[in-house]
């Protein structure tokens, strides 16, 4: 989430949660579920990050509790499997089905070269 202020005091909220390969309904549902989970558990927002977190050192990111996003589908699957809020929002049947499809996709793609993976995904999406 990014909040930007204008010169006249206007504020704009930007939500950049996914790329074009994501299901927009699932992506938005995940954001809503995560927000509701934070409200239910009365989690506090972290300090604002005003610059590119990629330019911070590992120590600075750790101090601010900025964690990297998964870099592979396999890592993303593992992260979802460990997230009770998102699994609960999906429900047991939908979560199980979604994870099974993504695991099968990961198994099919993990050994492909980047060029072959991009070609396959470009045809699919």
Give just the sign of the alpha carbon dihedral 67, 69, 71, 75: positive
How far the first Cα of the chain sits from its last, in Å, is 26
Low-confidence residues of the chain: pLDDT under 50 = none
Contact 106, 79 (CB under 8 A): no
pLDDT of the residue at 123: 84
pTM over 0.85: no
pLDDT of the residue at 10: 66
Look at residues 124, 71, 72 and name the one whose alpha carbon lies nearest to residue 103.
Answer: 72
Contact 10, 4 (CB under 8 A): no
């Amino acid at each position: 989430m990014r909040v930007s202020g204008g010169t006249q005091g206007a504020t704009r909220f930007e939500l950049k949660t996914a790329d074009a390969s994501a299901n927009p309904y699932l992506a938005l549902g995940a954001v809503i579920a995560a927000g509701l989970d934070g409200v239910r558990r009365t989690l506090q927002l972290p300090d604002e990050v005003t610059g590119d977190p990629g330019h911070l050192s590992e120590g600075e990111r750790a101090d601010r509790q900025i964690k990297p996003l998964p870099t592979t589908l396999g890592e993303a699957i593992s992260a979802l499997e460990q997230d009770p809020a998102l699994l609960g929002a999906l429900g047991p049947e939908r979560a199980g089905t979604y994870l099974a499809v993504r695991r099968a996709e990961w198994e099919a793609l993990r050994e492909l070269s980047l060029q072959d993976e991009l070609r396959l995904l470009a045809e699919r999406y």
